[in-house]
Amino acid sequence: MNRTTTSPFDIKSASIQGLSLVLRSANLGVIEADLAARVASAGDLFTNAPVLINVAALTADGTADKLELTRLINLLRRHTMRAVGIVGAKGLLLKQAQALGLMEEEEIQPRPRPRTAEPEPEPAQVSVPAAAAGAAAPAQATAVATADLFGDTAVAAPPMAAPAPEPAASAAPATEAQTAPTRVIDRPLRSGQRVYARGGDLVVLGLVSHGAEVIADGNIHVYGPLRGRAIAGANGDAEARIFAAAMEPELISIAGTYRTTDKPLADDVLGKPAQVRLDGDKMLIEPLKS
């Protein structure tokens, strides 16, 4: 069917930012107390947030069927969060989730940040005696092992009759295609504004006001006061960092590990140039020194 401009709607792909509630216990009493404490310290971070309930750990240890799913959904609703899907459920729990309108979702593994493949060293020039030339010739047609885009595995390249520079030159565009361009915002962000750099870094050349939110799958650089919320490594990149010329955030988060500033930052970073990074599960906020 040929669509025209008179069509009453369009269907397009879209994605939304949400939360994953990764359960390690089916005890709703313990979950309720901990959730209340976290919500109280997180401001409006969780307000109206869609939530995936991840029960993979409960399924693995055999306690998933003890989870009171309806009660958990109501608990999230009381804290203005909306359960939209379930991850890792099987059997009766999965059927119950589907009956309650939850989507079955696959667990999403964090994507590694693309790395540029290092250039291979030039082969050494070796003099081959004329008598051995016939034996050496077949070696030139042997398949060459080259690193893939992420440097994790070896990929067999087609046999080549002689070394040629073209494949090495064409490797760079393939690597660049895997890296999203850095998104640059050259204006201050006011309260209520939200910017997301999907697949790459975010640079803000000014103020991020209270109530504004900056999100990136990579690093976040704020060349001004950071007074709103900053969420780096949104797709699970634990190597992402947050940099600010004046660190005064409402909330900072890297790869799901977050901290609010209800407890003031240390004097050596509050309102000063600083960076935020993860060391394992620990969040570090450090001064930037020239």
Q: Please report the beta strands in the chain, taking only residues with DSSP state E, as ranges in sequence order.
A: 19-22, 50-54, 82-87, 103-105, 145-147, 154-156, 183-185, 194-197, 202-204, 213-216, 220-226, 229-232, 242-247, 251-254, 257-260, 274-279, 282-287
For residue 258, what pLDDT band results from cuts at 50, 70 and 90?
confident
Is the pLDDT at 162 greater than 80, yes or no? no
What is the topology classification, in CATH, of domain 183-287?
Pectate Lyase C-like (2.160.20)
C-beta pairs of 121-129 under 8 Å, 24+ apart in sequence: 123/163
232: β partners: 254
Q: How would you classify the pairing of strands 194-197 and 154-156?
A: unpaired
pLDDT bucket at 263, cuts 50 / 70 / 90: confident
Structure confidence by residue, pLDDT tens digits, 107-158: 655 555 555 555 555 555 544 444 444 444 443 333 333 333 223 333 333 4
For the cut 80, the answer to whether the pLDDT of residue 165 exceeds it is no
pLDDT given for residue 138 in this prediction: 40
Q: Which residue has the higher pLDDT, 120 or 264?
A: 264
Ordered strands of the 229-232 beta sheet: 194-197, 213-216, 229-232, 251-254, 257-260
Backbone angles phi, psi at 75, to 5 degrees: -65, -45
**Residue 252, class by beta-carbon neighbours within 10 Å (0-12 exposed, 13-18 middle, 19+ buried)?**
buried
On whether the CB atoms of residues 269 and 287 are closer than 8 A, the answer is yes
Whether the pTM exceeds 0.85: the reply is no
pLDDT at 108: 59
Q: What are the pLDDT digits (tens) for 54-111?
A: 999 999 999 999 999 999 999 999 999 999 999 999 999 999 999 999 999 876 555 5
Give the architecture (CATH level 2) of 19-105: 2-Layer Sandwich (3.30)
Write down the residue that tokens 């109280």 correspond to.
40
- Asked whether residue 175 carries a pLDDT value surpassing 50, the answer given is no
Nearest CA among 234, 240, 245 for reference residue 207: 245
> What is the pLDDT, as a whole number, of residue 2?
56
Q: Where are the domains of the chain?
A: 19-105, 183-287
- Distance separating alpha carbons of residues 266 and 274, to the nearest angstrom: 11
Tell me the CA distances in angstroms from 79 to 26, 35, 61, one per residue in order. Answer: 19, 9, 28
pLDDT digits (tens, 9 = 90+) for 11-49: 876 667 778 899 999 999 999 999 998 888 776 778 888
The whole-chain average pLDDT of the chain stands at 79
Distances in Å between the Cα of 149 and the Cα atoms of 29, 153, 177 are 47, 9, 10
